[in-house]
Amino acid sequence: MNRVFSELPVSVFEVMSRLAREHEAVNLGQGFPDGAGPEDVRRKAAEAVVDGWNQYPPMMGLPELRAAVAGHYKHWQGLEFDPDGEVMITSGATEAIAGALMALIEPGDEVVLFQPLYDAYLPLVQRAGGVPRFVRLQPPHWRFTEEMLAGAFSHKTKVVLFNNPLNPSCTVYPREDIELLARFCVQFDAVAVCDEVWEHVVFDGRAHIPMIGLPSMRERCVKIGSAGKIFSLTGWKVGFVCAAPSILRVLAKAHQFITFTTPPNLQAAVAFGLGKADDYFIGMRGELQASRNHFAAGLRAIGFPVLQSQGTYFINVDLAPLGLNEDDETFCKRLVAEHKVAAIPVSAFYAMEPITSVVRFCFAKRQTTLDAALERLAGALRHVGVS
């Protein structure tokens, strides 16, 4: 058996989901919204199943969806992509990341990863033969410096896998940080695989800055997006990859033998959705921002030190200032058993030297769900003398 997968322990995500079911907890661990998603987009998918094409679509994705992706990024991010040579549709961002790593890495190549990191990254890098080099980010700002990058990049670096906005730290990186990372990519001749699935879920008027938009990065960047996050339909698993033709050509070979294609009906619905009026996207952000504000205020009122959530469906609390004598995982296990709220310890997103004081909650839930959670959380800090 392959060691990368056979030696993977049961993840904290699975443990927390099982505990949430056992204790009938309000589950703010998993990252999906409890709304149904935009009805017009779902109806398009239903129509496309009943009246549309249900056989293999083109390997690169439906032409109408590739055109919609290019049009969407031009409108929202000022980017120019040729839908025929620079856009490919995948079965979710995860397939795009797996394909990009398979296509770009030779065994022994180094891959720079930022901790905390999305759980799929490390096994996929290792399975592709890559050697991880970590940049360790920490609260409260989770930003990286020139010195940190200098410690991770080397002449063996082939790829940097960069998630912005970053889950789970909820950081939307400013231009200066992206420019700094780009300078390292150019200096070490590395390709940036940019996981931008949260690009539309940004708050407080922040702008998402796509790295591929920097002139020096246009030919050395893979931009990855996901309809799941844009339309709050996380089960759909429709991803987009944009890259210069010389890179996309090789990524397409990996995609050809991983999934080959993605359900045509969902592709048709996403093509429709990407062309929706600006109101939808702005409204979606506004609703999530209101949920974030509501939940953050509730957490603060209870006494939790809340970290800034600049984007994503999540918000973190840092237990360190409370002087608790337990780590984030112990705290989460106690929280679900005693207070019936499930959350995720952020240490689970570190492969080494974890930060052990930060706990992540998903606020992309109805207000009644958030209020039920806050009511249960009210007693959670009493034993440390807070509130």
Ligand X SMILES: Cc1ncc(COP(=O)(O)O)c(C=O)c1O
Total residues contacting ligand X by CB under 6 A comes to: 14
State the nearest-atom distance from the C-beta of 239 to ligand X, in Å.
5
Burial environment of residue 201 by CB neighbours within 10 A (0 to 12, 13 to 18, 19 or more): buried
The nearer residue to ligand X, 14 or 146, going by C-beta atoms, is: 14
Q: What length is written for the chain? A: 387
d(CA 152, CA 132): 9
The nearer residue to ligand X, 251 or 374, going by C-beta atoms, is: 251
Pick the stretch among 65-73, 138-146, 149-157, 226-234 that binds ligand X (CB under 6 A): 226-234
b/e per residue 182-196 (b: at least 16 CB within 10 A): bebbeebebbbbbbb
The nearer residue to ligand X, 31 or 123, going by C-beta atoms, is: 31
Selection from 173, 239, 240, 246 nearest residue 211 by Cα: 173
Q: Check binding of 267 to ligand X (CB under 6 A).
A: no
Residue ranges in 15-44 that form contacts with ligand X under rule CB under 6 A = 31
As beta bridge partners, residue 203 has none
- Other CB atoms closer than 10 Å to residue 273's CB: what's the count? 26
d(CA 115, CA 375): 32
Q: Nearest 5 degrees, angle CA 113-CA 170-CA 97?
A: 40
Q: Check binding of 195 to ligand X (CB under 6 A).
A: yes
Q: State the binding string over 72-111 for ligand X (x if CB under 6 A, else -).
A: --------------------xxx-----------------
Q: Check binding of 226 to ligand X (CB under 6 A).
A: yes
Q: State the binding string over 118-157 for ligand X (x if CB under 6 A, else -).
A: x---------------------------------------
Q: Check binding of 237 to ligand X (CB under 6 A).
A: yes
Residues of this chain that bind ligand X (CB under 6 A): 31, 92-94, 118, 163, 167, 195, 197, 226, 228, 234, 237, 239
